[in-house]
Structure 1
Amino acid sequence: MTRTPVPQQPGEPDGRPPLRKDPADSADIPRGLPATPPGASEATRLLCAGTYMDDGFRDAVIDELYVHEERFAAPSLGIDAARVLAHALRARRLQLAWAAGILLLWIVAIPLSGGLAAVYFSPVVMIALSRVVARAPIPWWTARIGAFLLRWYGRLSLLVFMVSLVVTVCGGDLPLMAVTWPISLLLPDAWTGGMPDPGSFGDSGWDSGRGSGWGSGWGSGPLDGGLDTTYAGQAGEGTVLFRAWVALVLPLLLATMVGLHRGQWAHALTRELSKHRFPDAMSDPAERAEGFRFRRLRDRVRTEQHGPLVMYRAANPFCGAGTPFKTWSLSVELRPREDRETEPLDNRAILDRVIPLVAALRVPSPHGSPEVAAAVRDRLRELEIDECVFLPAEGLKSRTAAPYAPEACAEHLAAAVEEGGEPRRHFLRIRVGGWNEGIVTTVFVRVHTQGGMLMLEVAPHVLWPLRQVFQDADRIAHHYRHHNHFGKAVWALARTPRSAGTAVVTLLRGLLSTWQLATGGYGGALPDGPRASVRELGSDGEASLFQDMDVARYLETIQLRVAAGVTTALDDAGYHTEEFEQKVVNVAPGGAYVESFQGALGVGNNNTITNNSNNSNTTGAPGQSNRSTTQRGSASKSASKSASKGSAKRGNG
């Protein structure tokens, strides 16, 4: 077994340093580069953009932070959840306004067109049904044929109807009504104007001599009588043309509204959500939104998300930190050395040895000159170290009763570090935000001495990258804004058929949220821990090979320094370190394996592993190498899309 070398820190005197450090010694801990404020980070900006792009993500953010006001905000590592909430509410207000405008346009157009505008529902419904049939649990050939027939029937019906409207407004005479079936069977005669179904065509169906245009075609058929009173009897040729114009112009107006809605989002990406303007939160229109409830909850979220106090639910205590990544722990016997007098060794003394070693990772290696060393941009230079205490949310009378005051937090931190209790737990939190906070690696370290034993718990967590569509927000907005007018028109027209259904769903979602606010009674409910994290909701778990390599490097480096700090504390206090060194083994340059709950791992070829619990031996096959412990489990991909947590699930090894 090779002992982990412990580098001498700057300013540390020669010889064995005192185990207990004075508070003034914290000034000697290396400082890292100034970190970007969470509210101005790139991850926050992309999450804000995502509220305009993904309705499900936006509604989840509003539900967690705005509707359920009894829930504490999850720790927001590298982001500002309050700013994401502000943009989520703004995006919903804008989308509700556009949805109401689209529905209002339909409501006005249907009576003005004498019911002709309702004919558009028939082909749109057919096209929508084709997608349902294509995914139906029926034989694939049946689904394909049925979807093909429905899709092309709807397209051809829509084309024929549009051509008929164009011919009619130009003064021509062309039968229309074959394309209205089966909608014509559902609409009342007062709206349809006596529009016959396909079976009404005959010698007297379209040439009854009542004139030209639609009047002559709507005078007979099974719905006879509707035409005489609505069109032929009361509406003259000018009224018929007006109704045709209304029906013809309606899709163009809808496409214009769809395009303007998209253009408004693209415009926001280039202004308040642009990279150069987003750091200025004071100029953000979403932050200036009125509303007492929003301002109250915004301030509450900003108090809770970045403090040293973490209020949690027992079912998910590390909510907000990401996916567990090979959590491990070990315990060793504290055996005094015979050649040295032992010193008291408690949790605080061990942490005082771990913190300087981990903080030293911020210091660049010697590069020959200070200028060259200062130019190093390794993310470890921005490494963040703090201490936090986890408290259960159960038992509080209200959300405002949580002890977030600085004095109360300090008391909890001081008491919890030596307490070793179950509900209240003290952790050393080490965080590295890589890829502009796109990959956040957090290591929670907890030490506990009890009954002559030392227990070390290390819980690494990783926040994986944001959804790819969020990362491509700038690219999508740039493409739309610089697209030619014809391409924008085609894009809007292609999405016009679904605009009515989307508008209805949007308004129903807004109504549901309002109903929950009015009837849920969440303001008076007992406080609860967070059920979801904004950062986790916006992740998809798909990391590139470079990002996986960086995560492995951060975790290996930090865990080695943690192990080195514990070893140093044991040695300085006069205890044997051999047992600890046997459980922390150097397996590769920059990598460390620590005995986990699952057993031991052999490294190399033809190795033998002995499990003392059952005295069973496992011999590695020749030529077969073992994987590093920081590599993700093979089952990670199968659980990478978790809808309930909104983030990837990685194997715990």
Structure 2
Amino acid sequence: MSLPEHRYSRTEGTRLLCVGVYQDLGFRRRVIEELVDHRERPVAPPNGVDVLPVLAHALQVTRQEARTALLMLGAWAGFFLSDVIMFWDRVADRRGHGADVDFSDVLAAMFQGDDQLSNGRPLPWSALYALVALALWFAHRAGGGGSAARSAGLPDPVAKAADGAGSLVSLGAWAFAFFYWYSYVSALLDGHAQTPYPLLFPLALALIAWWYQTWQREALCRRLARWTFSTATQPELPEGPLFETLRDDVRREQEAMLTLYGPDSPFVGLGQQGTPWSFAMELRKRPRQPGEKGTTDSGADATDGGGLPRQISGPLTADTALSMIEPQLTRLRESAALSGKDRLRDLEVDRFVYLPGGVERDEELEVGGVPDPAVVPRGTGRSRGLPVYDPAQVAAHQREAVDEGGEGRRVFLRIRVGAWHEQVVVTVLVRVHTQGRMLVLEVLPYVLGPVRREFRAVDTLVDRLPETWVRSALRALRHAPVVGVDAGIGGLATLRNTLATGWSDRDALPDVPRVSLRELVSTKGLSEFQRMDSTRYVKTIQERIVNGVREALKAHGYRTEEFEQHVYQLSGGSVFIKDMSGGAVATGSHGSATHHGTTPTPSAAPTTNAI
């Protein structure tokens, strides 16, 4: 089933999440769980990522992993069966021709040891190699202890301790693997090994691992390399009504300027919240100046040809205030595109609706209806039903909720900058209230960190490809135990998910987005340059917001002195001074000021200072 193109389908964030399903079994299972198992749960707003290609790659890897698990299971079954046959013959020879031999006798003999069949070890070769495989798999997982600790935000001493523990475990596992091969080779040289199967079956497992790893690396090169991802054809979703419905739902939810939310976590997927700021001021009309003109135009130009403020008739509303902010941001984007390569040239501005949860993702509502009529009125009252994410529903919510100031349904101006190839995503949410002759402005900045380092390391791996068959064969021999255990775990998870899909609760209560896949694999640490850039973006956007509000106040004939005072007080803790005669001002925890009683000359003009 082909996938629809989305504006984020070819971004770097989408590419790295697709890479992640090849490298992290836990992440791959989480993708399928969130998108397929929880069909009652809408997806989080896309923050530079299209989750449909990620799901398609996850399902493709899962199918290939299931095939690998079946092949590995067949090899292990043959390995164990060879042990059983060899010991069965050994027990029969000991008891003589015609003696009865049952399976319990054979098992007892296998775990008692035999000089010729197991070189005197109290384990059959298959069980001994199974322990080797488990030890190497555990060592492989423990080897990433330090990076996992750092990703979790733990201090460096803890991460170093995890690295040291992982190194010791890995060393012990490799010593155990060397013991296995030494036991077999010594038995072979001493003439005790009567059959080559303890060597042939590990080689068969390595051959299966070689085939699986070759398929993975070919997929990474052909579809997910930096130079091929933008044009390569990505895998398709499986056929069937389940995935057809899922594809349509996800596409509609990712394109809509609306999301459902739960009160415990409304801003899923935006990352870490920065320092929010807000202010409230009374709207007071200023005296009309001589020559000032009035108009009913609600455009962004707030002055007439002579430079005097052009007053707009009608009250200042949240809608008109946002309409004055949006052109400021648009001009910022256009100027950045003309002046250089600043990421502000890709700045996105839109009005985004947060709707309280309580409806199914495809439930039909009246146009403008909301889930909880006790929280927010039902809207227009028209009877035509549309899904909650339908464009007509979204437009009605944007139109009706922008000025209502409700507690449940909220409209924000969302400003987004995807920097560092979508590794650092800055989002600023703006909301304006104008009820009761008051102006309240709320600004919430968020920063989403880079994708995990191991996902980004795929480019180093791909740059080393293609490799010689000798090197790839040796690598497969070394990784075969780990691949076998991983494939077995993944195959069991696939079987469980398949059974759960057939027996899942189709009457689950409607839910809201709980997890953002992009945020799930993000790290909290930013480099110094990334931190500098994110701070610059937030400050620049806030300045444009301030300019838009200032122009809105001027255009509607309101005084701006109190607004200017609030802005400068909130800007880095500074103090705004307007028309000051006498007195003294001190800032900071140890600041001091002294008034000397001097009086400014009459010709001195009032000045504005930020201290």
**Given the two structures, how large is their TM-score scaled by the length of structure 1?**
0.67
- Cα shift readout 1:389-413 (whole Å, capped 9, x = no counterpart): 111121x256343422222221111
Which residue is equivalent to 1:380? 344
Which residue is equivalent to 1:558? 541
Q: Is the 8 A contact 1:438 1:464 kept in 2?
A: yes
Shift of 1:360: 0.7
Q: Is the 8 A contact 1:442 1:460 kept in 2?
A: yes
Find the residue that maps to 1:40 and give its secondary structure: coil
Find the residue that maps to 1:455 and give its secondary structure: strand
Q: Is the 8 A contact 2:225 2:462 kept in 1?
A: no
Find the residue that maps to 2:568 and give its secondary structure: strand
Which residue is equivalent to 1:649? none
Q: Is the 8 A contact 1:432 1:440 kept in 2?
A: yes
Q: Is the 8 A contact 2:226 2:459 kept in 1?
A: no
Which residue is equivalent to 1:503? 487
Q: Is the 8 A contact 1:123 1:153 kept in 2?
A: no
Distance 2:11 2:34 in 1: 21
Query: Does residue 477 of structure 2 align to residue 493 of structure 1?
Result: yes
Give the residue type in structure 2 aligned to 1:333.
E
Distance 2:414 2:319 in 1: 14
Larger displacement relative to structure 2 (100-109 or 527-536): 100-109
Which residue is equivalent to 1:619? 590
- Where do residues 49-60 of structure 1 align in structure 2 (5 Å cutoff)? 49-60=19-30
Find the residue that maps to 1:387 and give its secondary structure: strand
- Where do residues 146-295 of structure 1 align in structure 2 (5 Å cutoff)? 151=173, 154-164=176-186, 166-167=188-189, 173-174=191-192, 240=194, 244-280=195-231, 283-284=233-234, 286-287=235-236, 289-295=238-244
**CA shift in 2, pair 1:432/1:56, >3 Å:** same
Specify which of 406, 409, 421 is matched with residue 436 of structure 1.
421
Query: Does residue 398 of structure 2 align to residue 416 of structure 1?
Result: no
Distance 2:538 2:344 in 1: 11
Distance 1:545 1:415 in 2: 43
Gaps spanning 5+ residues in structure 2: where? 87-123, 146-157, 290-310, 365-386, 577-583, 594-611
Q: Is the 8 A contact 1:133 1:146 kept in 2?
A: no
Gaps spanning 5+ residues in structure 1: where? 1-34, 175-213, 215-239, 366-372, 587-591, 595-599, 610-616, 623-653
- Where do residues 580-591 of structure 1 align in structure 2 (5 Å cutoff)? 580-585=563-568
Find the residue that maps to 1:555 and give its secondary structure: helix
Distance 2:169 2:474 in 1: 23
Give the residue type in structure 2 aligned to 1:119.
L
**CA shift in 2, pair 1:563/1:259, >3 Å:** same
Which residue is equivalent to 2:296? none
Query: Does residue 53 of structure 2 align to residue 83 of structure 1?
Result: yes
**CA shift in 2, pair 1:397/1:270, >3 Å:** closer
Distance 2:138 2:13 in 1: 38
Distance 1:277 1:333 in 2: 56
Give the residue type in structure 1 aligned to 2:9.
G
Distance 1:147 1:58 in 2: 26
**CA shift in 2, pair 1:166/1:298, >3 Å:** farther
Distance 1:518 1:350 in 2: 51
Give the residue type in structure 2 aligned to 1:254.
L
Shift of 1:359: 0.8
Q: Is the 8 A contact 2:361 2:389 kept in 1?
A: no
Query: Does residue 66 of structure 2 align to residue 101 of structure 1?
Result: no
Specify which of 434, 440, 464 is matched with residue 449 of structure 1.
434
Shift of 1:386: 0.9
- Cα shift readout 1:178-218 (whole Å, capped 9, x = no counterpart): xxxxxxxxxxxxxxxxxxxxxxxxxxxxxxxxxxxx6xxxx
Shift of 1:159: 2.7
- Cα shift readout 1:339-358 (whole Å, capped 9, x = no counterpart): 46874111111112111111
- Cα shift readout 1:470-529 (whole Å, capped 9, x = no counterpart): 1121221332x33444433332222233344323322222233234323431x3222211
Distance 2:139 2:224 in 1: 38
Query: Does residue 507 of structure 2 align to residue 524 of structure 1?
Result: yes
Which residue is equivalent to 2:263? 314
- Cα shift readout 1:154-197 (whole Å, capped 9, x = no counterpart): 24531322303543xxxx524xxxxxxxxxxxxxxxxxxxxxxx
Q: Is the 8 A contact 2:351 2:411 kept in 1?
A: yes
Query: Does residue 273 of structure 2 align to residue 324 of structure 1?
Result: yes
Find the residue that maps to 2:340 and give its secondary structure: coil
Q: Is the 8 A contact 1:392 1:423 kept in 2?
A: yes
Query: Does residue 557 of structure 2 align to residue 548 of structure 1?
Result: no
- Cα shift readout 1:55-112 (whole Å, capped 9, x = no counterpart): 1111111111111000011101222111111111111111222122112211122213
Q: Is the 8 A contact 2:134 2:485 kept in 1?
A: no
Larger displacement relative to structure 2 (463-472 or 486-495): 486-495
Larger displacement relative to structure 2 (124-133 or 254-263): 124-133
Distance 1:460 1:566 in 2: 17
Give the residue type in structure 1 aligned to 2:571.
Y
Distance 1:146 1:437 in 2: 37
What is the number of residues matched between the two proteins?
482
Give the residue type in structure 2 aligned to 1:273.
L
Distance 2:210 2:325 in 1: 57
Q: Is the 8 A contact 1:165 1:248 kept in 2?
A: no
How many percent of aligned residue pairs carry the same amino acid? 37
Specify which of 410, 416, 431 is matched with residue 425 of structure 1.
410
Which residue is equivalent to 1:47? 17
Distance 1:472 1:607 in 2: 54
Distance 1:146 1:81 in 2: 39
Which residue is equivalent to 1:407? 392
Give the residue type in structure 2 aligned to 1:322.
G
Q: Is the 8 A contact 1:463 1:536 kept in 2?
A: yes
Distance 1:145 1:329 in 2: 51
Find the residue that maps to 1:433 and give its secondary structure: strand
Shift of 1:601: 6.3
**CA shift in 2, pair 1:602/1:495, >3 Å:** farther
Q: Is the 8 A contact 1:103 1:503 kept in 2?
A: no
Q: Is the 8 A contact 2:137 2:485 kept in 1?
A: no
**CA shift in 2, pair 1:121/1:553, >3 Å:** same
Shift of 1:418: 0.7
Shift of 1:37: 2.5
Distance 1:117 1:78 in 2: 48
Which residue is equivalent to 1:391? 355
Distance 1:494 1:470 in 2: 22
Which residue is equivalent to 1:645? none
Shift of 1:436: 2.2
**Given the two structures, how large is their TM-score scaled by the length of structure 2?**
0.72
Find the residue that maps to 2:444 and give its secondary structure: strand
Distance 1:538 1:145 in 2: 25
Query: Does residue 126 of structure 2 align to residue 117 of structure 1?
Result: yes
Larger displacement relative to structure 2 (482-491 or 298-307): 482-491
The root-mean-square deviation of aligned C-alpha atoms, in Å, is: 3.4
**CA shift in 2, pair 1:155/1:445, >3 Å:** same
Q: Is the 8 A contact 2:31 2:517 kept in 1?
A: yes
Q: Is the 8 A contact 1:70 1:399 kept in 2?
A: no
- Cα shift readout 1:232-268 (whole Å, capped 9, x = no counterpart): xxxxxxxx4xxx2222111112122222222211111
Query: Does residue 318 of structure 2 align to residue 355 of structure 1?
Result: no
Give the residue type in structure 2 aligned to 1:530.
P
Q: Is the 8 A contact 2:133 2:485 kept in 1?
A: no
**CA shift in 2, pair 1:621/1:296, >3 Å:** farther
